[in-house]
Structure 1
Amino acid sequence: MRKLSSFIAIAFFSIASGSEAAPSLLPSPTKPDLINNNSGTPGVQSNPTGLIPFLESSFESRLQGERDVRYLSFFLTSEQAQAGGSLRLTYTNAVSVRPEDATLRVSFNGHAGQQFPIRSPQGPGIMDVKAETTALKPGWNTVTLAAQQHHRVDCSIDATYELWTQIDVSNSGFQTAASRAQDPAAALISVGRNADRRTQVRVLTAGDTKAGARHSLDAIQTIALLLGRKDLSVEFTTATKDEPGIDLIVGDVNSSWQSEEGKRLLATAPAGVSIRPSGAGRVQMIIRGAGEQAINAALLQALNGPLKLVLNSRRLPAEMGVLNADQPGTYRLSDLAYRAEPFAGRLFRTSFQTVMPADFYPGDYGAMTLKLNAATAPKLAPGAQLVVRVNEKAVTSHGLIDPNGTILKDKTLDIPLRAFRPGINTVDILAELPKEEDKVCDPAARDESKPRFLLLEETSISVPALARAGRVPDLAAFAGRAYPFSRTETLDLVVSAPSSVQLGAAATLLSRLAVSAGQPLAANLVSDQEARSAIPDRNRLIIATAQGQSLVKSARLAAPSLDGLTTASVFGHGSTVAEPSDPRALLDAFQARTSQDRNEPGISENLIIGFQRTINVVGRWLQYREAESDPAPIRNSEVLATLSQVQSETGNSVVTTVSAATDAELSKAIDYLTDPAAWSKLNGGSATVLRSTGEVISTSAAAYSFYPLADKSFANLRRLAAAWLSDHIALYAFAVVILVSLIGLWLGYIVPRKGVRTVE
């Protein structure tokens, strides 16, 4: 029988429409027990009954700066959408946020929103927002959260980075008025998060734990893909727990790997897949089958039947502000969920995500082109500028100093392709907008009626043709697209010892890679001894402790280092207006509200403006280039674990290794590595997890090798040659010198000796 992961991949992307639904996977309804897990939060009940959690993780649910927007998603069945309900938001905000005018605007699926004050700096506060049934729909629903925040006492631009409101995803979500969901997919998606704000999958095993893990890997990846969450954590345990999460029981009563509790649950479960809500935020998923073939068939039948509801309603990336750069094209900000609105603060910021192909090769052979359509108010102070950042590194800027204000019409800014990496990249457009009156800081006298900046929705970004060649090592491609493990061939998932901790770490990492790839990976779980006799040219993902260091002899780790440019991460998309606004009307209104401040600039002012723009551009370019260097190595005592990637000895496969001293340190390191905040920043050839803080530090690779080319066209080879020469500038300069020398030799030596022919 073919490996199940191949069938699951087909099920995820090409399930035949109109197939008959399989019988319900849910048993008869029983009233779930209420779990009282406050996670140390007084007065807040963790995962109350009927709460449908958000898809997004804690990292994706933080609103920062003077104005920020977040899009959070939850899934409803037809019955739940018709019954309606309310949105529960449990949040905490920074003490620096001024309570008198801090607001949060909440809207559902683009409908008109409701506005609430932000006033909970001392502990968690709760907002309950009623949702009209007309604003809800079956499938994925989007909640738009738009925060407006000001500092209590500081009017500097730097102070805007101190403003934040954090949504507690463990105690937030949609509270449905419908009875408990009878749909198995909806029941699975309603699983809550634990006290660590992680989605916990507990696999019941005992005895032959490795066999249990091998039979469970496909089910674990299926759960990860169905949920779509980036905070999944897997553990192998002998019993269920009275806390949010998914209890996964695989096999039958005679399975050698099954625990006593697992056997009891299997004895009462029907053959195939069944899903049982077992408490607030808890779900049991039981796959009963005698042997791998029966287990795989049951899971595949569920994907083509009851679980098909979620697969058929997968969200479109463009709805959430994601640009897919697989193909060249031009995209307007309005296509990326941005809505224009005049901005009256000091630091404007909007962002979108750009997903680069797994085999994208960064280099200076091209650039993305940003065409700005914007306007600024008169009398901005020196230092006003627009800055474009990619992955928190400044790459280009444009001065905004003009005494009369300025209108930017298709102003072109190039964003170098070298700034991007394979997988998910965050592009920030920032406008620093100081005014002289900010020096006299009086928050109560702030005038929001006069905007300082307007970025129009017709602003666009153009994606050029990209050079395509997978590189090794490249942790950005590994984390962003699970490359090269996302290819069709089987990978060896190797553990140095089949302990429950190492197996849990391996399953956690594999599930996270499946979410990155958007498909299950064909993983063959093997031990150290089995790996020695396995196919040598197969890609390997190794989980090792000090006892298994023989597995990583060929992994020469580069010295870890700190990132030289650290900046606050503030995201935003502007307004929550549902329909795109008229850019001409917005621009006219902006000009009218700021016209009284305009006057004719003098010669000296124009000189200052030109000089300031030049300094800003050069300074930002230098800052970007300097940020790519690696600082000093980290002390060995500070290293909790390492992640490295190398090409195998044969050169035909890739070996990726996570290594720690003990199982306990490995477990802690995997939690740090797979945390969405750290995972999105993996880059280079190796990474180090710091013992004291859990911070993950990436280190550049000393050299790269290329994975076999998929695109061998002349155009791609030409782009690769240009990219390679940009990486080896000394060789490029040497080639230019040689070419010029040859031309000089030809003109100065060969031509004169050939003589001149006279035609009579």
Structure 2
Amino acid sequence: MRSLLAATLIASCAFAGTLHAQVTPFDMSGERPGEPEKRPPPATSPPPVQPQPATPPVPQTPQAAQPSLTPPQPAAPVPATVPATPAQQAPESTPAGQPPASPATAGKRHFVVPSDRLNLAGEFASREWTIYLTPEQAEAAVRLNFGYRNSIYVAPEASTLSVEVNDTPIGETTIRSAAGVTENSIELPYGLMRPGSNKISFSASQRHRTDCTVQSTYELWTDIVPEQTYLEFDTAKMTMPPTLDDIRAVGVNGQGQTRFNIVVPKLDQSASTTPLLRLSQALGMLAAMPNQVFEFSTTLPTQVSPGELTVVVGTAAELEGVLPRLPDGALSGGIAAFVENPATATQLLVLTGPSWPAVESIVENILAPVDRPESVSRSVLMTQRWTGMNTPLLTGSTRMPFSALGLKSTEFNGRRFRTGFNVGIPSDFFGNAYGEARILLDAAYSSDVLPGSHIDIYVNGSIASTVPITNSGGSVLRQLPIRFTMRHFRPGANLIELEAVLLTRADQVCSPGSTASKEPRFALFDTSEFRLGDFARIAQVPNLAAVSGTGFPYGRGENVDLFIDRIDNQTLSATATLLSQLAVVAGRPLRTIPKASAIATGEGDAIFVGQISQIPPLALAQTHLSEEAPKTWGTSAQSAPGNLNQDMLDEWRQKTSAISPFATISDWLGRNFDISLGSLRFAPGDEPMFLPPETANVVLSQGVAPSGNGTWLVLTAPTGEKLQRGANSLTQHKIWEQLDGSLTQYGVGDPPLETRAATQVSFLPTQPFSIWNFRLIAANWLSTNILSFAVLLVCFSVLLGLATSALLSRFGKNR
């Protein structure tokens, strides 16, 4: 009897312990609503005076309540991981509901995410980038903190988030933060961070809780929260005075933005415009961050946030009343030095001297290390701050293994595998109609993979090729050729992605626990190759894609005329932001020459920046902006009742009118043969004038100069405030890479960015004449002008017939 009671008691305790050890139950309450970019703060966060989290009641066990980068306990239903090494120390993990850090702790933060959002989507996702550290920062870096949240559909028992620094794994955690943001802290091994560039990588392996279909993989995501992802420094080791090397290490703020505050007490001097804009380009190229903005002012800022650098510029006499003290030697010659601002306890970079020519000489000295001679070509595009490596620039026939493009051999056990790499295309690329690239794929798939699976190739987000898997039983693919056209390529960096969609019988059954299977289904080997064929090289203008990709034609090292309607802080800020972005993508600073009017700009390239009412009419006409724009854009004239009624009437006429036969034919040709009626013309139509709508805040437009020997670029907005904010928005990386056509507008519409294709295009030779290049140019041009090609084909056929008839008449039977 006693034995029976003892056995019953032991069984009851074991059952209770099992109940207590269960993980957080499946709960849909933590799912984010609406658009992921704009999430409200977690409702569980309490006020600072009461730091207890107000989360719903959940079992409070060490395994379930808090994720950890340490290996899971054997009792937990999580796959075993490698035991922690010195590089994988147990980090501290804190929920988002804790009180904010103290000012002393916040001052040590160096934010690292170079964007306002870092999303890891799908079953396999990885993002990497580099940050720049000074020798002192590399020595003082002690901890990497990051916060993350994830989809409620992610199964924590089968999903992990891994972190690497300089290709060294430093931690791994199960993904279980659907209810809000979870913060983690990882101790950095001594010597891991190094002076200069350091690569940071986040990788997510995610599986669905209940669904085994390929469609369910689109519900999986993990967001790394930028404002809670930062390096922490030991301030006791940061005692050395800053140097000019600190410009490269300015970093980003919690939204992934880099800001330069340029303080000029005498801002309205025309003599200072050129050195100030040269300085802006130097700062932008040294930092080389994806989201850089510049702001000019006449007084020191009252507060400075992380990711900001304040630069004070002026003669010694102009700065005497602004700075608490001048750098030593400011009265004898030009000097660049850091001084402390007592009001904000931050360092100011001061550029001063006895005169503006002395200040200008200092600016040129700062610019010299990043300047590139006109005769020196570049082989890479500077993208490592947001892609992890600089993008190779391919100017012709090339073959590169995946290992040289940053990809590693990978095994995959899920349903949808996706990875990618970047390649650069020059500004004079002219092969979108006939050019061809290919991937020679080294891969393997298991016997579980069924026919109907397929491998897809995407170029800049658009599908380019599909290869079906038709054989069952598994296979090893060696140098499998996958051809795809270059239709979606554009000047600058291009993202090429490979996606494998894998179907299996186990997924059709979807038995419990099958989503967590660890058996590999697919393997991609880094011996695979990307091959690019020859393509025609001749520039086209207008072409904002070339402007955003490589800064063409303003970054060729030639003089560029610059028209600024007025010298004030908003116009100079917008101009500096634009020129800095052009310098970064061009790989060299622009040589701008200020001009007072459009007539004075001459026959070369020119850039116009200002409010629409101040842009010369000639510049508006050449860039196809309506002459009515200065009168109506930004005023109530466009929204007058009469205009609204007319717009409504035109809209209803389009709805009720009969469909034109030409429209039906055009739709049929485009749907079945990818042919537009525009390609069935001998000559292009006239470029219509563009009247910006009220929803547009800023417009960037390009056109040919009146002489035909240059290209004009206009950045304009209805007000100075919208001009500055619009320039800041357009130059953000995710917006800048979408510029295309002859005109781009950005505003409050849906979508906020709209582009207009160029109707009339001029060709600008960039290469020495060769028969081979001319043949490629002709092939691409004829491929886009079908009617001209057909007429030429008929003419050659007639000529061939006449020649044949003439020969037969001389050598025929009658002779």
TM-score tier, shorter chain, comes to 0.7 to 0.9
Q: Which residue of 1 aligns with 2:607?
A: 541
- Greater Cα shift, 204-213 or 322-331: 204-213
Give the SS at the match of 2:566. coil
Q: Is the counterpart of residue 751 in structure 1 residue 751 in structure 2?
A: no
Given candidates 193, 200, 218, the residue that maps to 2:278 is 218
Q: Which residue of 1 aligns with 2:493?
A: 424
Task: Identify unmatched segments of 5+ residues in structure 2.
Answer: 1-95, 372-380, 627-669, 680-689
Question: Does the 8 A contact of 1:394 with 1:623 survive in 2?
Answer: no
Q: 1:69 to 1:206 in 2, by over 3 A?
A: same
Give the SS at the match of 1:175. strand
Give the count of matched residue pairs.
644
Q: Which residue of 1 aligns with 2:112?
A: 54
- Give the root-mean-square deviation of aligned CA atoms: 3.6
Give the SS at the match of 2:727. helix
- Greater Cα shift, 77-86 or 502-511: 77-86
Given candidates 774, 777, 791, the residue that maps to 1:734 is 791
The 2-side partners of 1:267 and 1:183 are apart by 14
The 1-side partners of 2:147 and 2:532 are apart by 39
Given candidates 280, 295, 301, the residue that maps to 2:359 is 295
Q: Which residue of 1 aligns with 2:585?
A: 516
The 2-side partners of 1:442 and 1:276 are apart by 66
Q: 1:187 to 1:752 in 2, by over 3 A?
A: closer
Q: Deviations over 1:502-542 (max 9, x none)?
A: 2211111111111111221112344xxx0234232131222
Question: Does the 8 A contact of 1:92 with 1:125 survive in 2?
Answer: yes
The 2-side partners of 1:41 and 1:285 are apart by 36
Question: Does the 8 A contact of 1:84 with 1:132 survive in 2?
Answer: no
The 2-side partners of 1:637 and 1:159 are apart by 40
Question: Does the 8 A contact of 1:89 with 1:126 survive in 2?
Answer: yes
The residue correspondences of 1:458-537 to structure 2 (distance < 5 A) are: 458-526=527-595, 530-537=596-603
When normalised by structure 2's length, the TM-score is: 0.72
Give the SS at the match of 2:803. helix
Question: Does the 8 A contact of 1:102 with 1:150 survive in 2?
Answer: yes
Question: Does the 8 A contact of 1:323 with 1:352 survive in 2?
Answer: no
The residue correspondences of 1:144-543 to structure 2 (distance < 5 A) are: 144-177=201-234, 178-180=237-239, 182-194=241-253, 196-206=255-265, 208-209=267-268, 211=270, 212-239=272-299, 240-244=301-305, 245-255=308-318, 262=322, 266=326, 270=330, 271-276=334-339, 283-302=347-366, 320=389, 322-381=391-450, 383-439=452-508, 444-526=513-595, 530-543=596-609
The 2-side partners of 1:145 and 1:167 are apart by 9
Q: 1:505 to 1:715 in 2, by over 3 A?
A: same
Q: 1:363 to 1:645 in 2, by over 3 A?
A: same
Question: Does the 8 A contact of 1:643 with 1:688 survive in 2?
Answer: yes
Question: Does the 8 A contact of 1:379 with 1:402 survive in 2?
Answer: no
* Greater relative contact order, per chain length (Cα 8 Å cut-off, separation 6+): 1
Given candidates 668, 671, 690, the residue that maps to 2:747 is 690
Q: 1:710 to 1:531 in 2, by over 3 A?
A: farther
Give the partner amino acid of 1:743: L
Give the SS at the match of 2:706. coil
The 1-side partners of 2:691 and 2:483 are apart by 35
The 1-side partners of 2:157 and 2:613 are apart by 59
- Greater Cα shift, 494-503 or 339-348: 494-503
Question: Does the 8 A contact of 2:740 with 2:757 survive in 1?
Answer: yes
Q: Deviations over 1:737-759 (max 9, x none)?
A: 22122223333x32332143899
The 1-side partners of 2:110 and 2:760 are apart by 47
Give the partner amino acid of 1:117: T
Q: Which residue of 1 aligns with 2:123?
A: 66
Q: Deviations over 1:362-415 (max 9, x none)?
A: 333431221111122335456421111111111111002432233322111223
The 2-side partners of 1:720 and 1:645 are apart by 23
Larger Rg: 2
Give the SS at the match of 1:187. helix
Q: Which residue of 2 aligns with 1:3?
A: none
- Greater Cα shift, 655-664 or 444-453: 444-453
Q: Which residue of 1 aligns with 2:772?
A: 715
The 1-side partners of 2:213 and 2:260 are apart by 45
Question: Does the 8 A contact of 1:340 with 1:456 survive in 2?
Answer: yes
> Could you tell me how far 1:159 is from its partner in structure 2?
3.5
Question: Does the 8 A contact of 1:331 with 1:460 survive in 2?
Answer: yes
Question: Does the 8 A contact of 2:243 with 2:338 survive in 1?
Answer: yes
Q: Is the counterpart of residue 554 in structure 1 residue 622 in structure 2?
A: yes
Q: Deviations over 1:162-220 (max 9, x none)?
A: 43333344443333343255451453344353465321111213554364543311111
The 2-side partners of 1:623 and 1:248 are apart by 58
The 2-side partners of 1:80 and 1:213 are apart by 34
The 1-side partners of 2:692 and 2:278 are apart by 39
The 2-side partners of 1:297 and 1:522 are apart by 15
Give the SS at the match of 2:158. coil
